[in-house]
Structure 1
Amino acid sequence: MNRPELDYYAVLDMPRSASKEQLTLAYRRLAVRLCPHRDKKYEQDFVPLAQEGKLTHLSPMSEIKQWAYINMAFDVLGHDLYRAIYDRYGEAGLFEGVMLPNGYFPPYQYHGDHMKVYEAVFASYSPYANLIDAVTNPPSLFATREHGIGVRHKDTNTERIIHLSLEEVRTGCVKLMHVWRQEIVDIKESRLEKRKHTLKLNIQPGTTAGTRYCFKEEGDRYPTTIPGDIIFIAADKPHPVFERRNMHDLVYRYNITLCQAFTGFIFFVQTLDKRQLKIVVTDVVTPGYQKIVPCEGLPKCRNLDAVSAIKHANKRFEDFGDLIIEFNYIFPKYLTPEMKAMTRQFFTEFQKHEQALEAQEKEHLS
């Protein structure tokens, strides 16, 4: 869009740091003076803005144009998502549409009903408000030679499972999802054709199973209905080495012998991002023992809403789950009589040594 952009904050005569409550009060102050439907007998109660010293760059315009501008400005700035997109991408991004972390945001279009904005702020503007809305904003209709005239109803949503490997979850990725949908291919809306359509999924690092990516009204196009949404639901793909636990922790299982369990050992683990971790175990590995390596799990996905995701788009969060190592014992399948005798002797000496240590501790305490 190669045109100067409108400063919605300047329209309401407020700074960009203004809170939503401050913007609402600014709109109310302007709207009670500029609303063309106010009762004429109350005009004398309002001091003209020019006499208040509140002149803005809209002041040279007629009150009708100023009325239109303040309603459009508040329709954007009074909506958290619209405001976040406007603050980050400007009016061009708002009108052209942008790709957000949770799906595509379609181009914004002001509905043009100034009194609808006024009513949302002041609660009501007329006892006939609902009737007027039905006339000024009628439901979406269709008119075809085959089906006549009727109200468009939205089709059911389409849900699909998208399987993600733990490597993709660890680093994040972009998925191009190809879907086939019915599309209208002529002006008369009488001929349909199945065509391939590509949707772009931005998978954030640490995305959890069950995360939903919604593409609004990207389903089949029919003359008599509103397209349904296409929703992709993330699911974990089984991994040959690791298992996800507690959303962001990774579990790794390592086989050890009884000798290793008693005497300690060293081994290496290859992480999802191809690094080698050196694991040193000096403790006796008893049943249920776990070795926890902090911050070597999956990144913690913050699952921000669209507004927060835009505000934190350039921030990098280094927050990870843990790597939990569990051990499986490998028992010998066969022992010779000599090996059994040596094992009995070992445990006999081991018990004598333990008893001697316990006796020394009691003497020391007494």
Structure 2
Amino acid sequence: MLPHRPFKTIPPIFFDIGISKEVGQRLVEADAKKTMLLYDKGIESTGISKQIAHYIRDAGIELIENNSIQADPPDTSVNAIAEIARAEEIDSIVALGGGSSIDTAKCISLLLRNEGTIDQYYGVLPQNPGVFLIAIPTTAGTGSESTIGGVITDTATKTKKVVGGPGLLVSQALLDPELTVGVPPYITATTGFDSLMHALDGFISEYAGLYTKYQCESTVRLFHKSIRSVVEDGKDIEARAHMMGAAVTGGMIITGASCSLIHSFGHAMGGAYPIAHGNAVTLFAPAVLEFVSEVKPDEIKWIAELFEIDVAQTDSPKEIAEKIGVAIATLAMEMGLKSIDAYEPEPEKLYQIIERAKSDVMTKTTPRPLEDKDAKWIIDRTYEIHRAIHQEPVA
């Protein structure tokens, strides 16, 4: 068993409808003079970046805009934007968007106060704090605004790498549910399921403590209460707020308990196939929960209760985990997430991700050692679950 570690508190979070309008005020209070606003072309097309830029300029802040954020941010993109930021001598950053925008911004913040390129900081290494950074998420799922790390794609090895430490800490987060109203159903679903996976991995992590488990419980409840509403009725602002709450609490779970094998396999899958992160981690959750059920029986029962699953007194932890897995995979299908066969129809070919999953930083917190045979079982079991469910008509 890994030693206990304290829960680390995070910087100020401002959470309210319309709070993003205060971004300029927050920069002024931090004595910022020249800010870089980072976003992708999708956010630009919605007009949200134009609004945020107006709030910043209206506060008298000099602004440099950059719309070149990429999904699953590659190291090359991070390094290139960091060079622009250095040349412009910016003193602050505003990250607008989902996890890719925020993770990119956090890594750039680190590089502005530390020498070198981002590949020199894979892992959790000594580093100076970054520049003043405001995160304004436009999706509800990654929780990057409340973590001390980011995930970057190493283009040399085509693997996802975690960067962590004080250089990646967000200075303030402005959580505005209004900004998520226009997010399409599939992205809403995948990011929402990412929040759920933070909670499930948080429950089974060897770093988990009672405090982080309470956060896991809150995240699962908010997800269970609101995921259908946000996917089926994107204008439901109350449900959007619930899911944004689940997302930021999910980030706190990562900070406090880390994640575990669900994310190890999700990261490995994402490095090998073009798949949305939330979809990738959700694929493996049912099999992973079965895999750890005998060593985490109390947590499995807790999760079943939160999902309101009918459990018999005679059910073993593995049988309970099977019921949870079916419920998760069925809900994911109903919410539009794709089956594992959509990405790789031949299970044996997916064995290529095993070494990546075993070496992923999240595997360090697994409550049960992961051997090659175990990883193959998780992959094979994932196919078995998905194929059984996708043969059944949706109610």
- TM-score where L is the length of structure 2: 0.21
If asked which structure has higher relative contact order (CA below 8 Å, sep 6+), I would say 2
Structure possessing the higher radius of gyration over alpha carbons: 1
- TM-score where L is the length of structure 1: 0.22
Q: Which has the higher strand share?
A: 1
Q: Which has the higher helix share?
A: 2
